[in-house]
Amino acid sequence: MSHIFINQFKICLKKKSLIFWTLIFPIALGTFFNLAFSNIDESEKFKTIDIAVVNNEKFNENESFKELIRALSTDEEIFNPQYVNLEEAKSLLDNNKIKGYILLEEKIKVFVKENGLSQTIIKSVVDNFYQVGSAVNHIILDKQNLKNLVMEDLNRNYFKDVSNEKVSSIVTYFYTLIGMACLYGGVFGIKAVIDSESNLSKKAARVNVSPVHKFKLLLVSLVVALIIQFTENLILLGYLINILKIDFGNQTLPLIILAGAGSFAGISMGVLIGLSNKKSEDTKVGILMSVTMALSFLAGMMIKNMRELVDKNIPILGQINPVSMITKALYSLYYYDDLNIYFQNLFSLIIFTFVMITISYIILRRKKYDSI
């Protein structure tokens, strides 16, 4: 068996198309995603708002407001204030150096040039100060509490969809990419089947007339496939984590187990596709690619919210989609502290693999064929 094992290893590693689809293509696609989506993530991040505060007598007298601006700029990094005179503040606003400026007179006034989230936040801070901050001078309200009350309002109204969310919006694309790469491992499964079923190739016929049991040969080929695919998945994960700096959480062992289970699922799907028809190897690979792409699309590879849409409208499709299972498991490792969702999806993936193998085994039990 070691003879077959070594040679199958050599054959798989030398077959450029296999390595392309299972390693090079996912790495290239990951790099492309990184280039294409990193700006999206950046644009969705909250940026500190440049403001000016007119440094006049009224401002210097209002300790509470001074402290609030300081706290919002140093503790929370919401504002980047410049303390200037009125003329300078006007000039900064005219030249678009700031989003707005605050002038303390009898009342506190906010001056802006245009409307937007930043301007609304400046106004909101001032409004909040009026509502709760004025009390500071009359009742004993801790200055820290004032900031907390203002922040609470800001978080509730403005930041809940962005900075309060732990998840980077682009990681889903990379998680589906891992799912896709796992299923692309199916090309190894297709190859293993073609090389062992005599109605699919003459090489297999040659093996089937030899004293080697075809199941042994297939098993060796699949072990080789699993080792290569698993290694490639680890390389891909290493590339995404270390080079592209994609966050996969910090639970290494579950991540490795998922990479292994995903590899197995992909290869088993390839075996079934290989056995399902008598078309050429290229056609079988084409079918695998198309099915994987469709499953990856439904798992959110091209549209971020697709997986949620599928789960909401056609939940069964989400439950039987191996790319979704892998994506959800990776997401859970990243987002949740406990492993419940991870194990649910890992278990689903194992059931999927079991179903693929069972159907394949039923087909593979044939020892002779009606035609070859």
Partner 1 sequence: MNNIIEVKKLNKKYKNLQAVKDLSFTVKEKEILGLLGPNGSGKTTTINCILSLLNFDSGEIKILGEKMTPEAYDIKRQIGVVFQDVAVFDELTVYENINYFCGLYIKDKEERRKYVEEAIDLVRLNEFKDFPPKKLSGGLLRRLNIACGIAHKPKIIFLDEPTVAVDPQSRNNILEGIKKLNQDGATIIYTTHYMEEVEILCDRIIILDKGEIIASGTAKELKELTNIEEKVTVEVDDLSIDIINELNKFKNIDEVIYDGHILYITFKKGKDNLLNLIEFMKDNKIKYNKFFSELPTLNDVFLELTGKELRD
> Residue numbers of the site for partner 1 (CB under 8 A)?
3-4, 7, 10-11, 14-15, 198, 201-203, 205-213, 367-372
Question: If residue 101 lies in a helix (H) or strand (E), which one and from where to where?
Answer: strand 100-104
Q: In angstroms, what is the minimal distance from the CB of 335 to partner 1? A: 43
Q: In angstroms, what is the minimal distance from the CB of 3 to partner 1? A: 4
313 versus 371: smaller Cβ distance to partner 1: 371
212 versus 244: smaller Cβ distance to partner 1: 212
Q: In what order do the strands lie in the sheet with 100-104?
A: 79-84, 49-54, 100-104, 108-112
115 versus 371: smaller Cβ distance to partner 1: 371
17 versus 283: smaller Cβ distance to partner 1: 17
Q: In angstroms, what is the minimal distance from the CB of 370 to partner 1? A: 5
Q: In angstroms, what is the minimal distance from the CB of 182 to partner 1? A: 24
| Dihedral angle sign, alpha carbons of residues 112, 118, 120, 125 | negative
176 versus 208: smaller Cβ distance to partner 1: 208
Distance CA 114, CA 228 (A): 57
Convert 283-301 into a string of H (helix), E (strand) and C (coil). Answer: HHHHHHHHHHHHHHHHCCC
Q: In angstroms, what is the minimal distance from the CB of 368 to partner 1? A: 5
The answer for residues whose C-beta is within 8 angstroms of residue 121's C-beta and 6 or more apart is 49, 78, 154, 158
- Buried b / exposed e over 193-229, threshold 16 CB at 10 Å, is bbbbbbebbeebeebbeeeeebeebbebbbbbbbebb
245 versus 367: smaller Cβ distance to partner 1: 367
Distance CA 120, CA 128 (A): 12
Q: In angstroms, what is the minimal distance from the CB of 367 to partner 1? A: 4
Task: Look at residue 257 and give its three-state secondary structure.
Answer: helix
